[in-house]
Structure 1
């Protein structure tokens, strides 16, 4: 469901009713007359829908974490806020950038439209920038030939399953964050898709090496061995970017999660 499009259509419909009422119908009604149903249930909602549309399109958008690919940073059921203007001002619905501001940086947690199905929003961490060479072999990450600094940090017990993963602190760009690895799993999901510019990647049984095309980004989940990401379905085009995640505002199962991500 394209909620942005539905909200835009509601905005147009209620806006037209509001204009008709303000410019024509209201002047013809008696001062003590009751507002007709189309004003009460249509035009009167225009200011509210306008405010929601503006906030959601240009400032912040709520997003619910649907999977465990970003554990331990983000858990299933976390409700987060996404900054819509960090990476530039985009036109609603068509998502076209009209004002350039900042560019995604390594380590950013980014929401984007899934390249295989733009109707779906995905969330991953930015690992490779345009022009970068990203290598992931032996469960370790290299960028432009340099190993990304990681430090072992014990084990992570998964809340919904009776098993533990190895936990590491990874220093990616200016961001230090946690990642998880499982020694008994392969370095990427075996079902690699035939994605655009797949010839920029080389796969072996030990891992993957990709050169990120211009205008694209390489993203990975923090739960490295339980994440379908750029290793599997390819690069994220710049035009698919939605915004930067920055805040957990609710989790029905764990109120201590509120405000724990920034």
Structure 2
């Protein structure tokens, strides 16, 4: 969330400035007046204690890895409601906190990557989807089938999906293996029912943009349905790579799913 990131940056800068000012100037003035070095104001004391902690947290979540919680079912069956994931913040280049401006280019998304981003129509929130189309690709979606550069993807049925607890909404859907080039993965769909609102069409991905879709094909508000169908590169936040916790329901009322802890994200 933007507000949390903003507060973290402000607090880090504020405590750092107070600590540095005391180190360079204020401590000497106090010593000159009283002859004592240990009479620190409360603000200086708290700043000296909290600045290192805040600085480490800011560096870790801005440039190394940031935690997110999955709030919806759009990436089922691979990511479930209640999954806590880690997002690699340097895979696609280092970016400044708050404005997300890239200052060091390192890499670019690959087809099939699961990415966290700020959608063009909802820039205050983070979303998560899978990269289907790269710049220059022609992506089509017709009859529950993805077409990539004119060729339909192949699908293999893996049976019926059976959810539990808060995941039963998709029980009975067909579990499919989608052969996306370079990154095969599983998806869910209701066979024989069209996706909500249609979502069919053909799109050519412009330079500096990506086409993203959710793995839960009939329950994902993704590039098929956006007014502007593409994700700008500058809206990327990072690459999802690990599930580090699963907590079902409010305050974990349904307990922890230990089988998901430590799972990589395909």
TM-score normalised per structure 1: 0.89
1:169 to 177, 181, 186: 177
2:123 corresponds to 1:107: no
1:231 to 224, 235, 249: 224
State the partner residue of 1:256. 259
Between 1:75-84 and 1:24-33, the stretch displaced more is: 24-33
Could you say if the C-alpha distance between residues 32 and 18 of structure 1 is closer, same or farther in structure 2, counting changes exceeding 3 Å?
closer
Following the alignment from structure 1 to structure 2, what is the Cα–Cα distance between the partners of residues 128 and 121? 20
Q: Are 2:27 and 2:37, in contact at CA under 8 Å, matched by a contact in 1?
A: no
Shift of 1:226: 0.7
CA distance in 1, matches of 2:218, 2:193: 6
1:137-171 residue CA offsets vs partner (Å, 9 max, x unmatched): 11111100111222111011132336311011112
Task: Answer yes or no: is 1:185 the counterpart of 2:193.
Answer: yes
Residue in 2 aligned with 1:17? 18
- How has the CA–CA distance of structure 1 residues 206 and 228 changed in structure 2, closer, same or farther, with 3 Å as cutoff? closer
Structure 1: gaps of 5 or more residues: 191-204
User: Could you tell me whether the CA contact under 8 Å between 2:199 and 2:224 is conserved in 1?
Assistant: no
Structure 1 residue 33 displacement after superposition: 2.9
> Is the CA contact 2:72–2:81 (under 8 Å) kept in the aligned structure 1?
yes
Distance in 1 (alpha carbons) for counterparts of 2:118 and 2:200: 25
Q: Does 1:219 align with 2:237?
A: no
Counterparts of residues 61-72 of structure 1 (less than 5 Å): 61-72=66-77
- What is the CA-CA distance between 1:40 and the residue it aligns to? 2.4
In structure 1, the residue matched to 2:148 is: 143
CA drift of 1:183 comes to 2.4
Aligned pair partner of 1:86 in 91, 102, 106:
91
Maintained 8 Å contact 2:116/2:129 = yes
- In the alignment, what sits opposite 1:243? 238
Cα distance in 1 for partners of 2:38, 2:204 equals 68
Match of 1:193 in 2: none
Q: CA–CA distance in 2 between the matches of 1:256 and 1:172?
A: 26
Aligned to 2:8: 7
- Which of 144, 160, 163 is the aligned partner of 1:158? 163
Describe the SS at the equivalent of 1:231. Answer: coil
> Secondary structure at the residue paired with 1:232?
coil
